[in-house]
Structure 1
């Protein structure tokens, strides 16, 4: 069985805001694994600077030592554009300062919530709660799309269930996730596969359980998204970072 430990100094907990996760960590080392695509977007505090991590389609490798303290709110797929008012499509594979995305007034409010909080992670959660109080709930179509892709449904089957065309489904996905539904489905399938593998399941069985054609198909997908083979990625015995 693969023994899994979190990167040194990494902590996380569920948030009171939707399905978000609050996390923090102390710096980055060259032994840490890459940040893998997961369909999520993060609101970040990095050494006092507020920023947003957009949706990734490839591994992100921060330079060792680029920050001393990092905290984040990991928002579930489709949540960030509505909650934070940020453009998922324009932030694909990118990180942007919140000052470039929000009005000065909103940024002052967010900075005040951070300043009054007991720590940056608590402050970020307060910002997310403030945003949730002034925005509409996530579109039910977006929620259905995420849940269906997580369960392994095909894009064609989801379009049929929603009685919509593939082009409209693609437009919805670009706005909510930053990329199309097929890409999100592949990302979620890879994350599901890696979770099973970290739990001790063999890769051949993981491939079958996760909906891959075979282990070679699993390996190709993991390598495309992470730049590493499944064995090398799992051999680090580290949970992937977030942000």
Structure 2
């Protein structure tokens, strides 16, 4: 029996008690099920995010995020991930009327969010093909190696494919290039660490030095690491 577990990297409920929602760059595609105060229910597809954003959270009765593992979105949604990068698209625009009916059904489960998650999961699993192309395994292995700090060239060599081929299938499946995926992974690693100094953090996360970390962090996060750690972030439009 198929389950969503191999396809998801986490399910979370959005918190609205903070003045700003921190959304770091993310190589994953996310599904967001929301129910508004007026009772409208829908599912949004949030493509890979190449840079951070800091929107003001909206108060919603239900706001559930299903983070799809990088490289797995195409099988579930039927569209290449590079077509979704930095976009927010209603699921119905990708799939059609069945997604509208899904939204209506989920709206009836606003007081039972776990049941709603189960219904959404069953809907996605029913869309999976019986057999997946072999490139899914290739991309999955590349994701692991690149996230661990292996270079694109070394990853391609280890997987027995050309670097050009790896870049092409990786971008289609994940939504960003292998190089940008590695940059995002490093920045997310920095955010998640307890740190004693930026120079130590730089050494631990694969940066050449502290200056390299600060420049890359500012480029993707829009603020310096010090400003981010202190909560001094820009608020972006929703």
TM-score (norm 2): 0.81
Please, what is the CA RMSD of the aligned residues? 2.7
**Aligned runs of 1:57-72 on 2, under 5 Å?**
57-62=50-55, 64=56, 66-69=58-61, 70-72=63-65
Give 1:218's aligned residue. Answer: 213
After superposition, give the CA deviation of every residue in 1:149-197 in whole Å (9 maximum; x if it has no partner). Answer: 111100000110112112211111121111211110111111112212x
Structure 2 equivalent of residue 11 of structure 1: none
Of stretches 115-124 and 71-80 in structure 1, the one that deviates more from structure 2 is 115-124
Deviations 1:199-238 (A, max 9, x none): 2342111101111000110111111111011111112299
C-alpha contact 1:73 1:121 (8 A) present in aligned 2? no
Give the CA deviation at 1:28.
6.9
Superposed CA deviations along residues 53-98 of structure 1, whole A, max 9, x for unmatched, are 1001111232x35443422111221122222324311111111111
Q: 3-state DSSP class of the match of 1:68? A: coil
Matched, 1:27 2:6: no
Distance 1:60 1:222 in 2: 13
Structure 2 residue runs without a partner (length 5+): none
What is residue 108 of structure 1 aligned with on the other side? 101
Whole-Å separation in 2 of the counterparts to 1:114 and 1:36: 29
- How many residues are paired up? 221
Deviates more, 1:74-83 or 1:214-223: 74-83
In 2 relative to 1, CA 41–158 (structure 1 residues): closer, same or farther, beyond 3 Å? same
Residue 30 of structure 2: SS of its match in structure 1? strand
Partner of residue 46, structure 2: 53
Q: Pick one of 39, 49, 53 that aligns with 2:27.
A: 39
Instruction: Structure 1 unaligned segments of length 5 or more: list them.
Output: 1-14
What is the rounded CA distance, in whole Å, between the counterparts of 1:150 and 1:122 in structure 2? Answer: 33
Query: 2:183 is matched with which residue: 178, 186, 190?
Result: 186
Describe the superposition over 1:24-55 as per-residue Cα deviations: whole angstroms up to 9, x where unpaired: 124375x3253111211110023223101100
Within the alignment, does 1:162 sit opposite 2:173 as a pair? no
Select the structure with the greater relative contact order (CA < 8 A; seq sep ≥ 6).
Answer: 1
SS at match of 1:20: strand
State the alpha-carbon separation in 2 of the partners of residues 215 and 33 from structure 1: 27
SS at match of 2:150: coil
